[in-house]
Amino acid sequence: MEKLQVVVRENCHLGENPLWNPFDRELYWTDINFKKLYSFSPDQKGYRVICQGEMVGGFTIQTDGSLLLFADGPGIKIWGKGKLIPVIESIPGEENSRFNDVIAEPTGGVFCGTLSFNHLPGNLYYLSTEGKLTEVIENLFCSNGIGFSPDLKYFYLTDSGLRVIYRFNYDSSTSKLSGRQTLVEIPEEQGVPDGLTVDAKGCLWSARYSDSCVVRYRPKGKEIGRIDLPTKKVTSLTFGGEEYRDLYITTAGGDKPEGETDGYLFCLPQAGRGLPEFLSRIEI
């Protein structure tokens, strides 16, 4: 493991949802509140805004390289070649919400959580490849970081409002979740669990908002390591780069950044080994 690096010096208001794009070998992430979607090229060591004007809480990469954007409204759109194509305009009863973290599953469907602007409970939904949205779990205080175990037996979901990470049994043939268990509980004085990723060994990496760190857990929930960051609001993380060995970490600055690096994109080279995220296959 090498030294933590700053790779993009951009004070994102709410940097989130980093995702490695295998098609162009770049790291994508969103600034939710400033309504920008970025990409960073490790080879060229530069970054750019690729889409703006949409409050994107989460996104996946489609099999054709386009992006599936989960936004406020909450609505879902496909973005590709400079065009936005609506998939779902809104969800009845969630008009004052937006989507938060999302993840594609092996068959191309997507699990996607909502977050209320009015501090009401959100929900977890499943978007089928045919574009049908179904509620899976209701009354989540703040649906957040999601992941799968490498053997696809388990599904992990973070509820930031309750400061817990849940583990579910996952049936990849039916996309069904069952047997919810509380895997990790975080004390109030240790910040808020935010984004999440799972490495090739099945260990969970959880961004810790308000506690300046990333925490690594064994598959059964035991903490086995921490990575400290020079910024308080650590929001999310993912593996990317050669053989998915580099850990990319997003952060937030908010309205009044407390430090110079608040909102920057960080990278910890050779942090471990991750796995490629699944591609979505939503057809409309």
Write out the chain's pLDDT in tens, 284 residues.
Answer: 579 999 999 999 999 999 999 999 999 999 999 999 999 999 998 999 999 999 999 999 999 999 999 999 899 999 988 889 999 999 998 989 999 999 999 999 999 999 988 888 899 999 999 999 999 999 999 999 999 999 999 999 999 999 999 999 999 999 999 999 999 999 999 999 999 999 999 999 999 999 999 999 999 999 999 999 999 999 999 999 999 999 999 999 988 778 899 999 999 999 999 999 999 999 87
Give Cβ neighbours of residue 226 (< 8 Å, ≥ 6 apart): 213, 214, 215, 216
Report the DSSP beta bridge partners of residue 101. Answer: none
Q: Give the whole-angstrom CA distance, residue 109 versus residue 134.
A: 11
pLDDT at 284: 79
Q: Give the whole-angstrom CA distance, residue 99 versus residue 57.
A: 5
8 Å CB contact between 28 and 39: yes
Alpha-helix residue ranges (DSSP H) falling in 141-266: none
- Cα-Cα end-to-end distance for the chain: 43
What superfamily in CATH does domain 5-268 come from?
TolB, C-terminal domain (2.120.10.30)
Q: Give the whole-angstrom CA distance, residue 9 versus residue 263.
A: 8
Q: Active-site positions?
A: 194
**By CB neighbour count within 10 A (0-12 exposed, 13-18 middle, 19+ buried), where does 274 fall?**
buried
Strand, helix or coil at 179? strand
Q: Give the whole-angstrom CA distance, residue 272 versus residue 246.
A: 7
Locate 85 and state its tokens: 């194509």
- Alpha carbon distances (Å) from 280 to 37, 74, 105, 135, 154: 18, 18, 7, 18, 19
Q: Give percent above pLDDT 90 in the chain.
A: 90
Locate 140 and state its tokens: 């989540």
Report the DSSP beta bridge partners of residue 122. Answer: 140
Angle at 68 between CA 47 and CA 96, to 5 degrees: 100
> For the chain, which residues make up each domain, given as ranges?
5-268
Locate 199 and state its tokens: 């490495």
pLDDT at 1: 59
pLDDT at 256: 76
pLDDT at 203: 98
Q: Give the whole-angstrom CA distance, residue 268 versus residue 22.
A: 19
pLDDT at 204: 98
Task: Count Cβ atoms below 10 Å from residue 175 Cβ, excluding itself.
Answer: 18
Q: Give the whole-angstrom CA distance, residue 228 versus residue 111.
A: 30
Q: Give the whole-angstrom CA distance, residue 193 versus residue 122.
A: 16
Name residue 38's amino acid. Answer: Y
